[in-house]
């Protein structure tokens, strides 16, 4: 099993599952998933790691399964980060250009971006991403790429993503306990957006809503630029919990009810259909109507919709989303959810699948909304792999080096002795010539 530099590996640590995935790019630039493994996540709550040992075990289980299927040894991985501790802010920076040059270079842009990492933060926080939105050269606004332009002053507006240091360290601990190295922590809604959104949607304006097990991630794009990111602490697990408490049943039965018979619209749920749930410890079984189940689900989903609608209004771009809303994540698979979101927001809604950048013929198992973040981490990994130098892997077998050693000629002891004798005779001859000349003089 060898590590390959043309293969990117990633780990998605979610509230309900941990996914390890390996992929490569084909000659057309499309992603081919060559191996994926997943394990049940029990140590994560609302996107934050609460039990290091349980999460590390789940990571190891998922990685082992992915390695077995792909034949690739995981070593350097890109990891997603989310949770309710994530927040974003906007900031502006400027830089004066050297008058002797008078031309903006890539170094100037990079320096301006790196300066954003120095802004003051609250205790325990760190900057995860600094994303340029637009540039201003002298008085010229709306510049997307200032490199090569002439000017004296370069300004830029930045979207800055901030997270808690402790949460990031806990994720790193889980990865390192599985003998892996974290190449970079990537905000999950940014990864999901790369997997499911098209360039046209990002240009006209779109909101990505990734409904996971413990959190709902939000990313707003307009004019091809990320404008707002947020994470709200509600997800599919809250729906399961409501069904469990509302129907007084076990959680595993509540999850099955949600997946198999659940609906986000109570008005269209049938009144005459019921599902029977086995009783506990010999007790009588329970009958739960589809209508009752749909009412429970709709109430929680409306709360989630109200949460991300508030974030969309807070971004200032809710009136500019020409492409409406794209739902993805495991929670997006809820029956009739897109109709409910359309009714509550008045926007166009579609379900986002991670198929935009995937090679044709990929397994349908991968092309599911629940794996949008995992595929997006691969895409982000390929972007950063061109920037972050990856050390050459140590392969288990190195036949080339062995061949070179075999064909290298060894020194013959006999030939060495012959060379020494010839050298002595040559020195004696030269010495005799000079002595003979001295005696004649």
Could you give phi then psi for residue 418, rounded to 5 degrees? -60, -40
| Cα dihedral 260, 266, 270, 275 sign | positive
The whole-angstrom separation of Cα 322 and Cα 422 is 91
pLDDT score of 425: 54
Comparing CA positions, the residue from 186, 201, 167 lying closest to residue 47 is 167
Architecture (CATH level 2) of domain 87-163: 2-Layer Sandwich (3.30)
Tokens 């905000």 locate to: 187
Give the pLDDT confidence score for residue 43 in this predicted structure.
Answer: 87
User: CA 304 to CA 337: how far, in whole Å?
Assistant: 11
Q: How far apart are CA 245 and CA 253, in angstroms?
A: 11
Q: Tell me how crowded residue 343 is: count the other CB atoms within 10 A of its CB.
A: 15
* Integer Cα distance of 108 and 310 in angstroms: 37
117 falls in which pLDDT band (50, 70, 90)? very high
Q: Is 335 helix (H, G, I), strand (E, B) or coil?
A: coil
One of 3.30.300.20, 3.65.10.10, 1.20.210.10, 3.30.420.40 is the CATH number of 198-355, namely: 3.30.420.40
Q: Name the least confident of 153-162, 252-261, 400-409, 430-439.
A: 400-409
Q: Rounded distance, CA 211 to CA 214, Å?
A: 8
Q: CA gyration radius for the chain? A: 31
**In whole angstroms, what separates CA 23 from the centre of its chain?**
13
Q: Cβ distance 109 to 147 under 8 Å?
A: yes
Q: Which residues contact 226 (CB under 8 A, 6 or more apart)?
A: 131, 133, 159, 190, 193, 219, 220
pTM of the model: 0.81
Domain boundaries, the chain: 87-163, 198-355, 411-440
SS3 state of residue 306: helix
pLDDT band at 100 (very low <50, low <70, confident <90, very high): confident
User: For residue 5, what pLDDT is reported?
Assistant: 53
Q: β-strand 76-81 against 181-187: which pairing, if any?
A: parallel
| Structure confidence by residue, pLDDT tens digits, 237-266 | 999 999 999 999 999 999 999 999 999 999
pLDDT over 80 at 202, yes or no: yes
Residue 18 CA to residue 129 CA, distance in Å, equals 23
In this prediction, residue 391 carries a pLDDT of 41
- Dump pLDDT digits (tens) for 381-424: 998 875 444 443 333 333 333 333 333 444 444 444 444 554 55
């Amino acid at each position: 099993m060898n590590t390959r530099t043309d293969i990117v590996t990633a780990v998605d640590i979610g509230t309900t599952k941990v996914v390890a995935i390996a992929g490569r790019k084909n000659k057309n630039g499309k992603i081919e998933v060559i191996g994926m493994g997943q394990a049940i996540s029990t140590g994560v709550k609302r996107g934050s790691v609460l039990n290091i040992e349980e999460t590390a075990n789940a990571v190891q289980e998922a990685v082992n399964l992915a390695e077995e299927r792909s034949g690739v040894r995981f070593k350097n991985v890109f990891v997603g980060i989310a949770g309710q501790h994530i927040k974003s802010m906007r900031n502006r920076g400027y830089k004066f250009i050297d008058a002797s040059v008078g031309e903006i270079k890539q170094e100037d842009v990079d320096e301006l971006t790196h300066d954003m990492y120095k802004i003051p933060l609250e205790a325990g926080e760190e900057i995860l991403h600094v994303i340029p939105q637009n540039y201003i050269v002298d008085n010229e606004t709306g510049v997307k790429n200032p490199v090569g332009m002439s000017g004296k002053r370069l300004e830029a507006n930045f979207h800055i993503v901030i997270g808690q240091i402790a949460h990031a360290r806990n994720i790193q601990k889980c990865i390192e306990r599985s003998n892996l190295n974290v190449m970079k922590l990537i905000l999950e809604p940014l990864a999901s957006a790369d997997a499911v959104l098209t360039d046209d949607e990002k240009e006209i304006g779109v909101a990505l809503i990734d409904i996971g097990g413990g959190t709902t991630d939000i990313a707003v794009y307009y004019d091809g630029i990320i404008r707002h990111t947020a994470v709200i602490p509600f997800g599919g697990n809250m729906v399961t919990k409501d069904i469990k408490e509302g129907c007084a049943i076990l959680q595993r039965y509540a999850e099955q009810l949600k997946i198999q018979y659940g609906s986000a619209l109570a008005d269209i749920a049938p009144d005459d259909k019921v599902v029977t749930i086995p009783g506990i410890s010999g007790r009588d079984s329970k009958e739960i109507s589809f209508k009752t189940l749909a009412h429970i689900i709709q109430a929680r989903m409306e709360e989630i919709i109200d949460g991300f609608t508030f974030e969309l209004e807070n971004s200032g771009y809710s009136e500019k989303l020409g492409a409406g809303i794209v739902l993805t994540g495991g929670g997006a698979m809820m029956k009739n959810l897109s109709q409910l979101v359309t009714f509550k927001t008045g926007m166009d809604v579609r379900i986002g699948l991670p198929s935009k950048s995937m090679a044709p013929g990929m397994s349908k198992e991968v092309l599911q909304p629940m794996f949008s973040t995992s595929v997006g981490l691969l895409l982000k990994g390929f972007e950063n792999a061109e920037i972050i130098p990856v050390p050459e892997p140590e392969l288990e077998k190195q036949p080339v080096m062995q061949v070179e050693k075999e064909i290298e000629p060894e020194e013959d002891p006999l030939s060495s002795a012959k060379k020494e004798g010839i050298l002595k005779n040559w020195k004696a001859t030269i010495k005799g010539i000079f002595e003979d000349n001295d005696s004649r003089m």
